[in-house]
Amino acid sequence: MASIAGSALSFARPVKATSANSLSFSPARKGNAFLRMQPVPMRLAVSCAAQKDTVDKVCEIVRKQLALSDGTEVSGASKFAELGADSLDTVEIVMGLEEEFGISVEESSAQTIATVEDAAELIDKLVNEAK
């Protein structure tokens, strides 16, 4: 017997995955039953508040400041700590960003930066305030 509750699916009998899109199981009766699973279109998309060119520049500065290899993935979601940055590296990244964008980041704001996206959003905000 199979039961479906929310997004969970449980079976009383062993289940065999025949492909990525279908499952088959043997119920108590003779014969086979099939359950087809259809891919669901993505309904949630991540949106960046920062401009793409700002995120790209921040990624470039972070890569340079941390001396990351070309194979290391750096994106808006990248956390400085996960890229190997310590507190001194983060201060140097912020100084590099200040120099590149001609802005001044207050210490309280700098302490809230954990990801590339955080930095890019703060930069866009400070640049727009300076106009």
pLDDT tens digit sequence for 106-131: 999 999 999 999 999 999 999 998 87
> In the chain, how many domains are there?
1
Between these two residues, 63 and 19, which has the higher pLDDT value?
Answer: 63
Q: Distance between CA atoms of 99 and 125, rounded to whole angstroms?
A: 16
Average pLDDT score over residue span 57-61? 96
Residue 78's Cβ-side half-sphere holds a number of Cα atoms within 13 Å equal to: 21
* Residues 83 and 92: beta-carbon distance below 8 Å: no
Could you give the residue numbers annotated as active site?
86
* 110 found inside a domain: yes
- Could you list the residue range(s) of the whole structural domain that residue 77 is in? 52-130
* 18 found inside a domain: no
CATH number for the domain spanning 96: value is 1.10.1200.10
Query: What was the pLDDT predicted at 130?
Result: 83
* 79 found inside a domain: yes
Average pLDDT score over residue span 69-78? 93
* Residues 24 and 15: beta-carbon distance below 8 Å: yes
Task: Using a cut of 0.85, tell me whether the model's pTM lies above it.
Answer: no
Stated as kind and residue range, the H or E segment containing 98 is: helix 87-101
